[in-house]
Copies of this chain bind each other. A is one copy, B any other.
Amino acid sequence: MTSHAVPPVALPHEVKLDRLGEIAVKVGLGLAPGQELVMTAPVDALPLVRRITEHAYKAGASLVTTLFADEESTLARYRFAPDGAFDKATGWLYDGMAAAFRNGAARLAIAGENPSLLAGQDPEKVSRANRARSKAYMPALEMIAGFATNWTIVSYASPSWAKVMFPEDPEDIAVARLWHAIFAASRVDGPDPVAAWQAHNADLQRRTRLLNDARYAALRFTGPGTDVTVGLADDHEWNGGATTAKNGLVCNANIPTEEVFTTPHKARVDGFVRSTKPLSYNGTLIEDIEVRFQGGAIVDAKARTGQEVLLKVLDTDEGARRLGEVALVPFSSPISQSGLLFYNTLFDENAASHIALGQSYSKCIRGGVDMPKDQLAARGANESLIHIDWMIGSGEVDVDGVRADGSTEPLMRKGDWVS
Interface, chain A (partner B; CB < 8 A): 33-34, 36, 43, 46, 49-50, 53-54, 57-58, 60-68, 70, 72-73, 76-77, 79-82, 84-85, 88-90, 92-93, 95-97, 99-100, 103, 105
- Report which of B53, B88, B103, B105 forms a contact with A62, defined as CB distance below 8 A: B88
**A89 to chain B: which residues have CB within 8 Å?**
63
A76/B50 contact (C-beta < 8 A), A63-B88, A88-B36 known: yes
**A54 to chain B: which residues have CB within 8 Å?**
76, 79-80
**Apart from A64-B76, A64-B77, A92-B97, what 7 extra A-B contacts exist at CB < 8 Å?**
A33-B82, A34-B82, A50-B76, A62-B81, A63-B85, A93-B100, A95-B96
**A63 to chain B: which residues have CB within 8 Å?**
77, 81, 85, 88-90
Q: Is the CB of B53 within 8 A of A64?
A: no
**A60 to chain B: which residues have CB within 8 Å?**
81-82
| Cβ of A52 to closest chain B Cβ, rounded Å | 9
- Report which of B57, B70, B96 forms a contact with A50, defined as CB distance below 8 A: B70
**A46 to chain B: which residues have CB within 8 Å?**
43, 70
A77 to B65, CA, bound (A): 11
| Cβ of A172 to closest chain B Cβ, rounded Å | 21
**A33 to chain B: which residues have CB within 8 Å?**
82
Q: Is the CB of B84 within 8 A of A62?
A: yes
Q: Is the CB of A76 within 8 A of B96?
A: no
- Report which of B43, B49, B62, B88 forms a contact with A82, defined as CB distance below 8 A: B62
| Cβ of A140 to closest chain B Cβ, rounded Å | 11
**A34 to chain B: which residues have CB within 8 Å?**
82, 84-85
Residue of B nearest to A102 (CB): B92
| Cβ of A248 to closest chain B Cβ, rounded Å | 20
**A85 to chain B: which residues have CB within 8 Å?**
34, 57, 61-63
**A70 to chain B: which residues have CB within 8 Å?**
46, 49-50, 66
Write 23 A-B pairs (CB below 8 A) sorted by A numbering.
Answer: A34-B82, A34-B85, A43-B68, A49-B73, A50-B72, A53-B77, A54-B79, A58-B80, A61-B81, A62-B85, A63-B85, A63-B89, A64-B76, A64-B77, A65-B93, A66-B70, A68-B68, A90-B100, A92-B99, A92-B100, A92-B105, A93-B93, A96-B99
**A82 to chain B: which residues have CB within 8 Å?**
33-34, 60, 62
| Cβ of A61 to closest chain B Cβ, rounded Å | 6
A96 to B97, CA, bound (A): 9
**A92 to chain B: which residues have CB within 8 Å?**
96-97, 99-100, 103, 105
Residue of B nearest to A103 (CB): B92
**A79 to chain B: which residues have CB within 8 Å?**
54, 57
A89 to B63, CA, bound (A): 7
A53 to B43, CA, bound (A): 15
Q: Is the CB of B43 within 8 A of A57?
A: no
